[in-house]
Amino acid sequence: MSAQLASKINKLCQQIKNINKRVIINEIVHSKFPLDSGTAILTASNPLNMANISINQALFTKIGQIVNFSFGFSADITGGSGGEFDLTLPISSDFTSFNDAYGVVTDFDENNIGVIRSQAGTNLLRVFVDTDLAIVTLNIPVGMVQYIII
């Protein structure tokens, strides 16, 4: 065998080893931290001082047991200076504590802000919104949540 052919074979073997290393590392990472993403239709329930809640389609990403998602909503304020409602999840989790999920909602313009927390003993979130204006319809384009799958 010529030196040139031996060099080409050696180089090819090295490339195969590098490809195998990448495949193995990729398999380990994805088996330890499975990835998922997509869209979800969320549902609001049990409103307080709110009516006609309309939830926009949610976008979610799941890495391992952690889920991040975004959504928006609009609602009519029926009393007080804000309201609250329960919200379903894009991927189910049986929350054991109010600290299993956190999130925020904002409209960026009118200073309508809120927080989102898990509901212990359920697979629901509770969205709390405070408005500092006497408004009839609330439009929240941005809600961001992170939670752990239990």
pLDDT digits (tens, 9 = 90+) for 47-88: 999 999 999 999 999 988 899 999 999 998 887 778 999 999
Global pTM reads 0.77
The DSSP code sequence of the chain is --HHHHHHHHHHHHHHHHHHHHHHHHHHHHHHS-EEEEEE---EEEEESEEEEEEPPEEEEEETTEEEEEEEEEEEE-STTEEEEEE--SS-----STTSEEEEEE-SSS--EEEEEE-TTSS-EEEEEE-SS--SEEEEEEEEEEEE--
Reported confidence tier of residue 20, pLDDT bands at 50, 70, 90: low
Q: Which residue has the higher pLDDT, 102 or 34?
A: 102
Lowest average pLDDT, out of 11-15, 55-59, 141-145, goes to 11-15
Residue 136's pLDDT is 78
Alpha carbon distance 87, 53 (integer Å): 11
Reported confidence tier of residue 138, pLDDT bands at 50, 70, 90: confident
Residue 30's pLDDT is 61
Residue 44's pLDDT is 97
Residue 150's pLDDT is 86
Reported confidence tier of residue 112, pLDDT bands at 50, 70, 90: confident
**Tokens standing for 150?**
């239990």
| Domain limits, the chain | 3-32, 37-148
Residue 21's pLDDT is 56
CATH architecture of 37-148: Sandwich (2.60)
